[in-house]
Structure 1
Amino acid sequence: MAQASPATGQRLRNFVIVLVAIFLGLSIYIGSGSQNNPATLAYQAENSTPWAEAQTNGKPTLLEFYANWCSSCRAMAADLGTLKQDFRERVNFVMLNVDNDKWLPEMLKYNVDGIPHFVFLNPQAEAVGMAIGQQPLKIMTKNLTALVNGQSLEFNQALGETSALKANLGPKTDDPRSHGGLPSS
């Protein structure tokens, strides 16, 4: 049996090092690109319309209350990216993170007790409908189409799978939809 020369062993070692470097490089590239991926929640939040602008620019608005830890919010990110592509010229897409105390007045105003929590606002920034929890793309599309056309929302007050809101916004209630937050009316 022939023994490998030291040069052959060195080449094999160098080859393995090159493969590992390529693998690590690709992993870093793919990992860093995920923040710029329209299908991620972080990208959607970073590229949303500022709340102050949405209240005054005369366009209807889809207001989403979300959190980075919310699995239902993350699951809907790709669909929201699609909706933004289809409606971006006609609708404001605003995202308010419920973990930021700055949005507590809005959370109380719109009775946010589970997330994702969507509020559909007309061009005068008045609430005309809502949806709570994970929603199918078809329902969100129909609601946004109606919103843009000034029509009643077909799926007003739609309910889907939610993540419980971790903030304590008020007195406890026995209502299972409250998730320990505000009492339902």
Structure 2
Amino acid sequence: MNSENPTSPPPASNQLRNLLVAIAAIILTTALFFGFQAQQSSTSLDAVAAAAMPIDEALANDKPTTIEFYADWCSSCQSMAADNLSLEKEYSDRMNFVMLNVDNTKWLPEVTKYRVDGIPRFIFLDRANQAIGDTTGAIPREIMAANIEAAIANQPLPHNSISSDRTSPITEPKAADISQPRDHGTKS
């Protein structure tokens, strides 16, 4: 009797099949890796912030200014990063672009002054550093460009004081609780 099973493939074809499966798995893994990399935003908030001008420099020259209040955790801020970087590159010779991270307490006076309660928040200043408009939330590039062009031309902003539904609310930092465990309920 023949002990070999006639339905099982010979060992050489098993090795070839296993090799083809391994190659296909490597190709699929590589394709998935590069596919996910391409889906991620190629522009980060850090890149936009690095291209931005320091606020003291912006307020010292005679160009209008756009101040963006943002945070690294803000998905709307991240979604606008590529558009904002392209706007900075296109208009930086005629407009100042400033980025202030709301998580940095250094900017608390500006956050308070401009009443920032949601991000991204854009404040538009004229050449004399007076607020001439604002937008809050993820704003389309075309609207931002129209506001920038109007500010440069010293014209009223066509899209002034608008808010989108894609904002990230922020709250003021809470004061530290300095009460002592035995302070509750005792009277002097």
Q: Same fold (TM over 0.5)?
A: yes
Q: Is the 8 A contact 2:133 2:161 kept in 1?
A: yes
Contact 2:51 2:85 in 1 (8 A): no
Q: TM-score, normalised by structure 1?
A: 0.71
Quick one: which of 55, 60, 70 aligns to 2:74?
A: 70
Query: 1:167: Cα distance to partner?
Result: 3.2
1:81, distance to aligned residue in structure 2 (A): 1.2
Return the offset for 1:117: 0.5
Cα offsets for 1:59-115 (capped at 9, x unmatched): 111100000000000000011012112101011110000000010010110000000
Counterpart for residue 14 of structure 2: none
Alignment pair present for 1:55 and 2:59: yes
| C-alpha RMSD over aligned residues | 3.1
Quick one: which amino acid aligns to residue 123 of structure 2?
V
Give the match's secondary structure for 2:160.
Answer: coil
Structure showing greater Rg: 2
What letter is aligned with 1:81? L
Instruction: Name the counterpart of 2:114.
Output: 110
Instruction: Count residues in correspondence.
Output: 169
Q: Indicate the residue corresponding to 1:165 in structure 2.
A: 170
CA distance in 2, matches of 1:107, 1:157: 16
TM (norm. structure 2) is 0.70
* Deviations 1:26-59 (CA, angstroms, capped at 9, x unpaired): xxxxxxxxxxx54x11100122100000011111
Task: State the one-letter code of the partner of 1:84.
Answer: E
Q: 1:167 to 1:151 in 2, by over 3 A?
A: same
The answer for the alignment partner of 2:130 in structure 1 is 126
Contact 1:114–1:163, Cα closer than 8 Å, also in 2: yes
The one-letter amino acid of 2:118's match is: G
2:159 equivalent to 1:155:
yes
Q: Give the whole-Å Cα distance in 1 for the aligned partners of 2:106 and 2:114.
A: 14
The answer to whether the 8 Å contact 1:117/1:131 transfers is: yes
Q: Is the 8 A contact 1:108 1:169 kept in 2?
A: no
Give the C-alpha shift of residue 166 in structure 1. 4.1
SS at match of 2:63: coil
Q: Could you say what secondary structure the match of 1:65 adopts?
A: strand
Distance 2:66 2:50 in 1: 15
CA shift for structure 1 position 169: 7.4
Q: Percent identity?
A: 46
**Which residue in the other structure is 1:101 paired with?**
105
Aligned partner of 1:164: which letter? P
List, as ranges, runs of 4+ consecutive aligned residues in structure 1 with deviation greater than 2 Å.
166-170
Deviation at 1:168, TM superposition (A): 3.6
Tell me, which stretches of 5 or more residues in structure 2 are unaligned?
A: 1-41, 176-188
